[in-house]
Amino acid sequence: MITDIQSHDDDQIRLFLNHEQFGILPTDFILKFGLRVGLNISHDTIVKLLQAEEVMRAKNFAINLLHEKKIHTKPEFEKELRQKGFSQEGISASIEDLERVGLIKDKTFARQWVRRREKSNPRGKEMLKRELADKGVASSTINQVLSNIDSSRELDTALQLAEKQVKRYKSLELHVAKRRLHGFLARRGFNYNTVEQVMQKIRFG
């Protein structure tokens, strides 16, 4: 039996069953479940309340992570929530809610990641693909975001990097400088064709 309902804050309540605190729940649960003092609630309703309360806790935890900017993508949230002991049902429901209101957007994150890299630390599509995959972004989303980078744009990026890097090789023999530049561009995630085009265009010495 519900023996008390107390206000917790603006949008939450404390629910007491048989004079013991059952949990902290959203205020809208009062209408959603028809909660009132003196009501004998069924086992099924208690289960639903527990499930809803877990989803709320999972969402709050995820929102805190968002504010701390520790994680960004759906798989990262799933991992963190799982490590905190939330059930798969609670994890899925909370993430769906956050996606619905636009707080979790893997595609937006991927686009922002690419833009930041282009401005501060340019690299090729292959490295961008690996980085986003490591962040848990789905391959379909990665491919969609990276499809905006055409071959000419990537070549321009590689050339700009090469022109800066080749200045460091002035004292090296030509074959050594070429080998190092080739390796540098490959490690930066540029594909073979792009690297070869750069090697043909760049001036050494």
Q: Record the tokens describing residue 146, joined without a space.
A: 């990276």
- Tens of pLDDT, residue by residue over 13-22, are 999 999 999 9
Residues 203, 180 share a domain: yes
| 5 SS3 class | strand
Residues 158, 180 share a domain: yes
Residues 154, 205 share a domain: yes
Residues 154, 202 share a domain: yes
Please give the residue range of the domain that contains residue 113.
Answer: 105-149
Q: Record the tokens describing residue 16, joined without a space.
A: 């007491």
- Tens of pLDDT, residue by residue over 135-174, are 889 999 999 999 989 999 999 999 999 999 999 998 899 9
Q: Record the tokens describing residue 162, joined without a space.
A: 């090469």
The CATH number covering residue 174 comes to 1.10.10.10
Query: Which of the 8 DSSP states describes residue 4?
Result: E
| Residue 126 resides in a domain | yes
Q: Which residues contact 90 (CB under 8 A, 6 or more apart)?
A: 51, 54, 55, 57, 58, 81
Nearest to 61 by CA among 94, 27, 37: 94
Q: What pLDDT is attached to residue 69?
A: 74
| Residue 46 resides in a domain | no
Q: What pLDDT is attached to residue 10?
A: 78
The CATH number covering residue 114 comes to 1.10.10
- Tens of pLDDT, residue by residue over 48-92, are 899 988 998 999 899 998 888 777 888 989 999 999 999 999 999
For tokens 């490591």, name the residue. Answer: 134
Q: Report how many domains make up the chain.
A: 4
Residues 184, 166 share a domain: yes
CA distances (Å), origin 201, targets 153, 182, 204: 15, 13, 10
